[in-house]
Amino acid sequence: MEKSFHITTFGCQMNEHDSETLAGMLLERGYVQAKERKDANIVIFNTCSVRENADKRFFGTLGQLKKKKMEQGENFTVCVCGCMMQQQHIIDTLKAKYPWVDVIFGTHNLHQLPELLDNLYREKEKQLAILPDREEIVEGLPSRRLFQHKAFVNIMYGCNNFCTYCIVPYTRGREKSRKPEDILREIRSLVEDGVREVMLLGQNVNSYRGQSDDGSVTDFTDLLYQLQEVEGLERIRFMTSHPKDLSDKLIQAFVDCPKLGKYIHLPVQAGSSRVLKEMNRRYTREEYLKLVEKLRTAVPDIAISTDIIVGFPGETEEEFEETLTLCEAVRYDSAFTFLYSVRKGTPAEQYEDQIPEDVKHARFNRLVEVINRISAEKNAEYVGRTETVLVEGPGKTGGKTFSGRTASFKLVNFRGTPDMTGKLVKVRITESNTFSLVGEAAGPEA
């Protein structure tokens, strides 16, 4: 029987990219990818543990598969992986309530999926592979890209920051940087395969320190300057930057490297210095604002996005309002907003003064209103300008609509033709919305 698989991904771009690797490995071994979960005989869930509703959604969706598993037995395989699997209480829940799950593997065992499936089919025994962390990085894994012309490239794994609310340092382990030569080799081969834009991924790319075999060390900005020289690569982006590690050298790289998109994701998390201290963010409100000023002085049209948590334990009304005034001061192009949720095993789990749900929700709604108003105002400033857009392909609305992104990462929809896909095209912006722009093609880039 043909073995077809389907992967459902929860969470961040790091997880999206891990799923691209899982798909790449299975395709290489002759499995086929089903378009929909119901058509697959191997179902894989790549989970996220960062937020509470991600867990709830995962268990809800997993539960829906029980009936099919009971009916089809060995002919239907259920695999679960990703960040949640790095937590013992999740494994205990799976064993107790979902004993029919066939394969469970953690973030450090990703590359083993084909082998675990082979073992499952040969030995007819459930497979569990979870390492607490891994010293070395597994290189050379294949990947099935979600987009033809843009690719995610991990430059480092893990996080050493231990923000008090966050589970990631426990699920993804300590920081490890890939060798610069491995990254360059991968990117050159992606470019040969048609990729024009890379998104460099890491929990904190600013602390990238790649060590080559000859002992030399490449830091994040050195890597950017090297990528600037890769012929055929048009755009470089990265995610995420921790404000405490954003150097003057990196700000200068935005000035020196034309391929570097004029966009930075710079999570602030809160606007009050006291809350930031409790979160162990290691910068104050004032330091953050100064950083934004420095960025804007060097790169006046840089777009800035952020992550904000509402309702961290002990957050007072006044402290929440400091988040609002910070947003007004920075004027973010966009922001991801989160309701604080307790993560088991993090320091903030022990904090008293957890904020009641209704208060959190009310603050959240007020924040979203401010964020959306500012996003719409920032987008309106683009109307009348001509932007260089890297065309990603047909837009979601279909027809002759194509979509792409400006250097500042704004999504633009415009009337185009299929040959524009993967190219840099001039687009005159005619309209703006809260989350996107509308324009007219104004010719290829000179």
Q: State the residues that interact with ligand 5AD by CB under 6 A.
A: 50-51, 165-166, 267, 269, 307, 309, 338, 340-341, 343
Q: Which stretch binds ligand SF4 (CB under 6 A): 119-127, 164-172, 367-375, 430-438?
A: 164-172
Which residue among 161, 284, 388, 401 contacts ligand SF4 (CB under 6 A)? 161
Question: Smallest distance, Å, CB 150 to ligand SF4?
Answer: 23
Query: Does position 169 bind ligand SF4 by CB under 6 A?
Result: yes
CB 268 within 8 A of CB 306: yes
Toward ligand SF4, which CB reaches closer, 259 or 265? 265
- As given in the structure block, the two tokens for residue 71 are 């009916």
Closest CA to 279 of 161, 360, 160, 158: 161
Toward ligand SF4, which CB reaches closer, 346 or 408? 346
Size of the site for ligand SF4 (CB under 6 A): 10
Query: Does position 203 bind ligand SF4 by CB under 6 A?
Result: yes
Q: Which stretch binds ligand SF4 (CB under 6 A): 61-69, 156-164, 192-200, 384-392?
A: 156-164
The DSSP annotation for 182-220 comes to HHHHHHHHHHHTT--EEEEE-TTGGG-EEE-TTS-EEEH
Question: Smallest distance, Å, CB 309 to ligand 5AD?
Answer: 5
112: partner contacted, choices ligand 5AD, ligand SF4, none (Cβ within 5-8 A by kind)? none
CB 333 within 8 A of CB 305: yes
Helices and strands, number each (H, E), in the chain: 13, 21
Q: Which stretch binds ligand SF4 (CB under 6 A): 41-49, 165-173, 285-293, 422-430?
A: 165-173
- The amino acid sitting at 316 is T
CB 232 within 8 A of CB 271: no
271: partner contacted, choices ligand 5AD, ligand SF4, none (Cβ within 5-8 A by kind)? none
Return the DSSP state at 127.
E
Toward ligand SF4, which CB reaches closer, 235 or 237? 237
- As given in the structure block, the two tokens for residue 147 are 């987009």
CA distance 367 to 363: 6
Query: Does position 163 bind ligand SF4 by CB under 6 A?
Result: yes
- As given in the structure block, the two tokens for residue 201 are 């991924």
CA distance 383 to 146: 30
Closest CA to 172 of 156, 155, 151, 183: 156
SS3 250: helix
CA distance 342 to 200: 29
Beta bridge partners of 446: none
The radius of gyration of the chain's CA atoms, rounded to the nearest angstrom, is 23
Provide the 10 A C-beta neighbour count for residue 213.
7
Question: Smallest distance, Å, CB 335 to ligand 5AD?
Answer: 10
Toward ligand 5AD, which CB reaches closer, 4 or 161? 161
Q: What separation in angstroms does the CA of 374 have from each of 265, 287, 295?
A: 16, 22, 19
Which residue among 22, 23, 166, 389 contacts ligand SF4 (CB under 6 A)? 166
Question: Smallest distance, Å, CB 200 to ligand 5AD?
Answer: 17
- As given in the structure block, the two tokens for residue 151 are 């690719």
Question: Smallest distance, Å, CB 320 to ligand 5AD?
Answer: 14
The HSE-up count of residue 365 (CA atoms within 13 Å, CB side) is 5
Question: Smallest distance, Å, CB 238 to ligand SF4?
Answer: 14
CA distance 325 to 306: 14
Identify residues 356-415 at the interface with ligand SF4 (CB under 6 A).
Answer: none
242: partner contacted, choices ligand SF4, ligand 5AD, none (Cβ within 5-8 A by kind)? ligand SF4
Residues composing the chain? 446
Query: Using N-to-C axis directions, what is the helix angle for 180-192 and 220-228, rounded to 10°?
Result: 30
161: partner contacted, choices ligand SF4, ligand 5AD, none (Cβ within 5-8 A by kind)? ligand SF4
Q: What separation in angstroms does the CA of 200 have from each of 33, 176, 235, 241?
A: 26, 14, 11, 11
Which residue among 204, 218, 241, 272 contacts ligand SF4 (CB under 6 A)? 204
Toward ligand SF4, which CB reaches closer, 159 or 355? 159
Question: Smallest distance, Å, CB 139 to ligand SF4?
Answer: 23
155: partner contacted, choices ligand 5AD, ligand SF4, none (Cβ within 5-8 A by kind)? none
Show the binding pattern over residues 22-61: x = contacts ligand SF4 (CB under 6 A), - = does not. ----------------------------------------
187: partner contacted, choices ligand SF4, ligand 5AD, none (Cβ within 5-8 A by kind)? none
Beta bridge partners of 236: 198, 260
Identify residues 210-269 at the interface with ligand SF4 (CB under 6 A).
Answer: 242
Toward ligand SF4, which CB reaches closer, 262 or 277? 277
Q: Which residues bind ligand SF4 (CB under 6 A)?
A: 159, 161-163, 166, 168-169, 203-204, 242
